[in-house]
Structure 1
Amino acid sequence: MASELGMPLDNYQEILGLSRKKLFDARSKRPRPHLDDKIIVSWNGLAISSFARASKILKAEPEDTKSYFPVAGTNPQEYIEVAKKALNFIKENLYNPQSRRLQHSFRNGPSKAPGFLDDYAFLISGLLDVYEHGGEISWLSWAVELQETQDEVFLDKTGGGYFNTTGEDESVLLRVKEDHDGAEPSGNSVSAVNLVRLASMFTGTRSDRYRQNAEHLLAVFEKRLKEAPVAVPLMCCAADMLAIPSKKQVVLVGKKSLSEMEHMLVSVHASYDPNKIVIHIDPSDEEEMGFWKEKNPNVAAMAKSNFVADKVVALVCRDFACKAPVMDSKSLEALLSSGKT
């Protein structure tokens, strides 16, 4: 249209932005539609993932990127805080730390319905994204805890894959295993991705167990994957992730308070790579070091040997065999985009 009208593209985009603003202002004067104000754990899990990813991906945009219709709430710096706020609400209102179980939803108080598979799977995915995009180790620890509960309550230990319900309600006559990735992904597809990601972060029997559960899950839906892959696109992604023989790990070592840590995280997430996991660790943080010593001693050892005061050291590894460390975000971005990692 800009070409047809003989005007610069920027001018055309600016006119479109002004037009949208006029439309938005006019619509704002109309009565708002009814708000569905129930809070569902699974839907929040999807939103948490999106906010966590956007907090770093949008920061990688060129500085001269123009917004032709600026609205409130478009600062990516705030997005990770929005994600954490949602997680805190769920943990405080819809999670029982004694039973380690979730409730499904909240409206004027928690619902009586227990969490379904989607609630656990989508929330675990959100927790992994918040951690990988700069969140505290406590979120990763909670993801591990919820995965243990999910395996205990929903996993078909003989046939493989996850049931949608707990099986504890006698009025539910049939326990099914959903696979269709429609408007929402299926709990089994998200779980398969979660398991591959967790297996790539840890070592030993824990990592083996995650990988085996992912393999068994995909075996359950093998016919569906082969005959109707268009119906299970996310499960196809999980199968591809599982097929990669060695995963790429990016380990960032340094204090989280340093501004360079944020720059490093932005560089790590500037390019899309589903077969990459991100670990950030502060060797002076006893909680973090204790977590990794238990779950993956390789990470704890790397952190200890590569710690430099007032610097952030980045290591790009495959199965925790690492290339020479780099100490600035541009070098890290170049290393990740070179195709040699």
Structure 2
Amino acid sequence: DGGNFEGNTILANNINASSLGFKFGKSEPEIENLISKCSEKLLEIRNKREQPGKDDKIITSWNGLMVSAFLSGYRITDNSKYLDAAKQSIDFFESNFEKNHILHRTFKNAEPKLNGYLDDYAYMANASVDMFENTSQPKYLSFATNLANYLITHFWDDSTNGFFFTSDDHEKLIMRPKNNYDLSMPSGNSVAAYVLLKLYYITQNKQFLEIAKKIIESQAISAAENPFAFGYLLNALYLYYQKPTEITIINGKNSELVSYLRKKFLPESITVLVESQSNLEALSKYPFFSGKEFQNDKTTVFVCKNFSCSLPLSDLSEIEKEL
């Protein structure tokens, strides 16, 4: 059914060109050309009026979600345009964090506004880990680690074992809000717990594990009573109890092997593709990459679980057995 003003406020033509041509004795191309000219005249007049307001600000948390989505698309389709878009976005925020030492909530005409909230830090840290898994560039792991440390320093509430929505250097409020439920977007606390767990397994920073564990334990009863409101926390809970399968791909020349591992559904896995010797050397300080080396010029895979790693594998059937 149409609205109260259907057909009275906006010019609309629901009759096809051939029917109009038959009615007015003109050919279909003549009708289409006439409609096009009329539309141009209407637009010319419309452009003389004041334009409606347009919200074109950049929101940090939304970009974090979008980066992760683009990287999922890249892994599934191998279409580099998704990786390029994700990289362009996250590089913008990484460079601003390096310059200002904080994340901002929004940007308008390249000008930052408002200190970032929990969601901004949690989503962007998660996106940065996703980017690191796809590129193995150390700067993305450093970015994620710096964001995680900032969260712990400025957002953590030791009395209730959760993160506040605002930082301790944010504008003073009557009370600092805290949200643990997934609403239209995932709970910042749940995303933070998830990314802290992943960072723990990559860096072995025990503080990350301790904080993630406290968040999960503090929300466990609520999640059991209302699991639909804690979907993202359940992801973190699964990762915590299942323990991740750690997959390191050294040298991605075997595109078939890389594509298989990227597309295989392993929800508890951390998969890092290392394409360069320099990246591997820079990452060797982390236990995740300890003892892993380039094997001549072929693609090799290391599969680790519970701090025990396989020998370097290059045969798909051998890798499948480990998974």
**Normalised-by-shorter TM-score class:** 0.7 to 0.9
**1:91 alignment partner in structure 2:** 94
Name the CA distance, whole Å, in 2 between partners of 1:281 and 1:115. 31
Unaligned runs of 5+ in 1: 1-28, 60-75
Moved over 6 A (4+): 29-34
Cα deviations by residue, 1:232-263 (Å, 9 ceiling, x for unpaired)? 1111121121112x431111123xxx533x54
Matches within 5 A, 1:188-207: 188-203=189-204, 206=205
Task: Tell me the residue number matched to 1:311.
Answer: 298
Matched, 1:301 2:301: no
* Pair member with larger Rg: 2
For 2:59, give the aligned amino acid: I
Separation in 2 of the partners of 1:150 and 1:42? 14
Deviation, 1:273, is 1.7
Residues in 2 aligned to 1:77 and 1:170: alpha-carbon distance in whole angstroms: 41
- Once the two structures are superposed, what CA deviation does each residue of 1:179-198 show, in whole Å capped at 9, x if it has no partner? 12122111111111101111
TM-align CA RMSD: 2.6
Partner of 2:178: helix, strand, or coil?
A: coil
Preserved CA contact (<8 Å) 2:300 2:313:
yes
Paired position in structure 1 for 2:310: 323
Asked if 1:279 is matched to 2:272, the reply is yes
Matched residue type, 1:129: D
Which whole-Å deviations, capped at 9, do the CAs of 1:17-51 have from their partners, x for residues lacking one?
A: xxxxxxxxxxxx99999753110010000000011
Say if 2:135 and 2:274, in contact at 8 Å, map to a contact too: no
After superposition, the Cα gap between the structure-2 partners of 1:326 and 1:98, relative to the gap in structure 1 and judged at 3 Å, is same
| 2:63 aligned residue (44, 52, 59) | 44
Would you say the 8 A contact 1:289–1:300 is kept in 2?
no
Q: Report if the CA contact (8 A) 1:250-1:277 is conserved.
A: yes
Q: Percent sequence identity over matched residues?
A: 25
Partner Cα distance (1:252, 1:301) in 2: 13
The aligned counterpart of 1:4 is none
1:172 corresponds in structure 2 to: 173
Shift, 1:98, TM fit: 5.7
1:179 & 1:263 partners in 2: Cα distance?
41
Which residue pairs with 1:292 in the alignment? 284
TM-score for the superposition, normalised by structure 1: 0.73
Provide TM-score, normalisation by structure 2.
0.77
Is it true that 1:252 corresponds to 2:249 in the alignment? yes
Q: Which moved more, 1:29-38 or 1:226-235?
A: 29-38
Q: How does 1:72-221 map to 2 (within 5 A)?
A: 76-92=79-95, 94-95=96-97, 97=98, 100-203=101-204, 206=205, 208-221=206-219
Could you tell me how far apart the structure 1 residues matched to 2:52 and 2:258 are?
39
Which residue is 1:54 aligned to?
Answer: 73
Aligned pairs, number? 276
How big is each residue's C-alpha offset from its partner over 1:206-256, in whole Å with a ceiling of 9 and x where there is no partner? 1x2211111101122223112111111111121121112x431111123xx
Aligned residue type for 2:163: Y
Residues in 2 aligned to 1:53 and 1:224: alpha-carbon distance in whole angstroms: 30
Q: CA deviation at 1:323?
A: 2.5
Q: Which runs of 5+ in 2 are unaligned?
A: 1-38, 44-50
- Partner amino acid for 1:318? K
The CA deviation string for residues 126-165 of structure 1, in whole angstroms up to 9 with x for no partner, is 1111121235221112111111111111112343111100
State the match for 1:25 in structure 2. none
